[in-house]
Each structure stands twice: as structure tokens, then as C-alpha cells.
Amino acid sequence: METLLKGSAYILGATGSSIVYKAMLADGTALAVRRIGESGGADKLKDFEAQVRAVAWFRHPNILQLRSFYWGADEKLLIHDY
């Protein structure tokens, strides 16, 4: 995870609540990393968990598959296969 957070990435798109980056791992694996902005709700962890659950179960050919997620003091990330 530390390599991913410190690596270079290209911005693919942005919304009002997140930015999506394309990141490359050392082995050449491409990932889409969605960086979630701070929500205004009182229960941020609950909101983030709801997003993770929704994306993890969603299956559609135009939606990238969720690979992992990260919840840290300064970062909230959804990590998808690209």
C-alpha cells in the first residue's frame, strides 16, 4: 500500500466527492484508484463501508472490479483493477 500511495499516477477523472487516478505497480499491473474526499456526515466510516459494500457486490462490464480498499487517517481509497 505504501508503494501505491507514494507512486506516480495519472488523473482519469473527478467528481465532487472523489478523484480517480490510474496507477502502475512495479510489476506493470495497472490500477484505478478512487480517492474519496471527506464527507460531511458524522459517521464517515459507516459511509465509506457502505461505498465499499456497494462497489464490491456490483457486477457490470463497464464497472471496474474492486480489488481492495484503504482507510487511513489521511486517505480513503477504493482500488480497482484497470
pLDDT per position as a tens digit, 30-79: 899 988 876 655 677 787 888 888 888 888 888 888 898 888 877 889 89
At 22, is the pLDDT very low, low, confident or very high (cuts 50, 70, 90)? very high
Neighbours of 74 (CB within 10 A): 5
Please give the domain boundaries of the chain with CATH numbers for all domains.
Answer: 2-81 (3.30.200.20)
Could you give the angle at the alpha carbon of 59 between the alpha carbons of 57 and 61, nearest 5°? 155
Q: From 37, 36, 38, 33, select the one nearest 9 (Cα to Cα).
A: 33
Segment holding 71, helix H or strand E = strand 66-71
Segment holding 46, helix H or strand E = helix 44-57
